[in-house]
């Protein structure tokens, strides 16, 4: 992101990365395990992915800025970039409701964390 503001190209890259069933599953799994994340083996086991399939999906998600990997010895721990996710949601909802916040309330209620 540039100065915390998502632009159209970055939005398209993110949406394109998430527009694949496997990558969407990986991203959602990592969001559920935020902020700790998971190592690649844990992701592969949880989603029943082969290593090469998972590697390709992780690369696309990382290139889109949706996840980041950090080496821990022989393993890499992957984490969802929640700031990027917030920026994506913000970009998509930026012009929502033409200044009438009551129209957006159902959308905001739906995406509010239920933690």
CATH code for position 80: 1.10.10.10
Task: Give yes or no for residue 100 having a pLDDT over 90.
Answer: no
Q: Which tokens hold the place of 36?
A: 């700790």
Q: Is residue 3 part of a domain?
A: no
In this prediction, residues 55-62 reach a mean pLDDT of 97
In this prediction, residues 85-107 reach a mean pLDDT of 82
Task: Give the CA distances from residue 86 to residues 6, 50, 94, in Å, rounded to whole numbers and listed in that order.
Answer: 10, 30, 12
Could you identify the residue written with the tokens 């964390």?
113
Radius of gyration in angstroms for the set of CA atoms belonging to the chain, rounded to a whole number: 16
Q: Return the higher-pLDDT residue of 98 and 16.
A: 16
Q: Is residue 94 part of a domain?
A: yes
Domain count, the chain: 1
Q: Which structural domain range is residue 99 located in?
A: 8-111
Q: Is residue 2 part of a domain?
A: no
Q: pTM score, two decimals?
A: 0.85
């Amino acid at each position: 992101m540039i100065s915390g503001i998502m632009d159209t190209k970055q939005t398209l890259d993110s949406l394109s990365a998430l527009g694949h069933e496997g990558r969407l599953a990986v991203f959602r799994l990592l969001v559920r395990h935020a902020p700790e994340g998971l190592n690649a083996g844990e992701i592969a086991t949880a989603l029943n992915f082969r290593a090469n399939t998972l590697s390709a999906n992780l690369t696309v998600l990382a290139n889109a800025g949706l996840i980041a990997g950090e080496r821990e010895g022989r393993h890499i721990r992957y984490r969802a970039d929640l700031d990027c996710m917030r920026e994506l949601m913000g970009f998509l909802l930026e012009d929502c409701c033409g200044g009438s916040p009551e129209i957006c309330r159902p959308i905001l209620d739906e995406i509010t964390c239920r933690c």
